[in-house]
Amino acid sequence: MRRFIEELKDFPRKGDWILLILCLLTAFGGLVVIASATNAPKFEGNLRYILIQFAAIVLGIMMYAVVSSIDVESLQEHRGAMVVFNTILLLMLIPFGTDNNTGNRSWLDFPLLPVNIQPAEICKITYVIIMASVMASHQNNISSIPSIFHMLIHLGLLVGLNMALSRDLGVSLIFVFIFIGMAFAGGVSLWWFALAIGGIAVLIPFAWPLLGTYQQERIMVLIDPTFDAQGIGARYHSKINLLSLTGGGLTGQGLFNGNRTQGGYLFAQHTDYIFSSIGEEVGFLGCLIVMLAEIAIIARCIYVGTKCQDYMRRLICYGAASAMMFQVLINTGMCIGVMPVIGLTLPLISYGGSSVVTIFAMLGLVSGAHARPQSLSHERYIQPYRG
């Protein structure tokens, strides 16, 4: 605890301020577009959304500093406790779970809290640490069968629990993409990736009947242009949101002035489809600025990772970058119409307190790697001289 307090005091000097400034610029830009997107009459006032998002940003900054000050090696020693924590957190969906009007039972609704909490978002942080810890323990033989099996056990437990209890495919896929990104960056043999791709191809015919009707329809919309060609069924929301995205031209129709945004015709215009609202109201240039901001955050995570001498810290940075990258690709891809609709927010832009706070906390891990790029374990075990 004493070391943590010392590191927290040193945060202004050692923390990654470049990454924090990039996050703040992106988050406050998101706050502006949320204010515009929730100005539509169907929201019955946007002050509540603005205040909650602002409070989440402030709490996120605090979490960034706190997590940045934690020595990840002390967390590595308690990997089992983190697995138990993730399990208990997800199991709480049984008594306290709610769908929050999304169709997925992904949120915890505690009676005494004014907002709902998405436990899988919190699990992203611990999963990155768990995955990095497991891979570090197998660093010298990372592509061996026991190593891959050990990594897959942790992935399967988390994804299996989340899917069984929440049915939220989108967040479950984030864990998978974190696994892929960290395995690739950690030096796992490409033969394993080829084997996985082949296995998925073989399993597709068997998995297809297990998907829900709405999930099958969302995939059919992507691969079959004749499926719901009129856009009155499964393709309806994608059609409307694509029209909004392209309806702003180069500079947009202006904040608080988008035809479909202010008319309330967009689906989830402040969360999953906020990128379409941005395209309508601030145009292609606004979308470009948002994408550059997201790319800058991802690039900073990767850069910090390349500077880390420690294998586990390097993987943590790549894991955070993988999570951010996947969400950006899926969210913008949904709006463009090249990705299936699976309900993922645009990091630091979309409305959502749980998402904002956990992203700041996850990026705090990167800041911690920036502050301590190599192992300091010897400092924790060597008794200082007391003269």
SS (H, E, C) 33-77: HHHHHCCCHHHCCCHHHHHHHHHHHHHHHHHHHHHHCCCHHHHHC
Mean pLDDT of 89-93: 92
More confident residue, 357 or 378: 357
Q: What confidence tens digit (pLDDT) does each residue in 128-143 have?
A: 999 999 999 999 999 9
Which amino acid belongs to residue 155? L
What is the pLDDT at residue 170? 81
- How far apart CA 166 and CA 153 sit, in angstroms, is 20
Q: Do 166 and 93 form a contact (C-beta atoms < 8 A)?
A: yes
Q: What confidence tens digit (pLDDT) does each residue in 43-55 have?
A: 888 899 999 999 9
What is the pLDDT at residue 82? 93
Beta bridge partners of 117: 108
Q: Which residues contact 213 (CB under 8 A, 6 or more apart)?
A: none
Q: Is the pLDDT of residue 226 over 60?
A: yes
CA 297 to chain centre: 13
Q: Is the pLDDT of residue 100 over 80?
A: no
Q: What is the DSSP string of 85-96?
A: HHHHHHHTHHHH
Q: How many helices (H) and strands (E) does the chain have?
A: 17, 2
Q: Is the pLDDT of residue 305 over 60?
A: yes
Most confident of 165-174, 200-209, 226-235, 355-364: 355-364
What is the pLDDT at residue 297? 98
> pTM for the complete prediction?
0.91
Token pair of 387 as six digits: 């003269």
Token pair of 306 as six digits: 């390349």
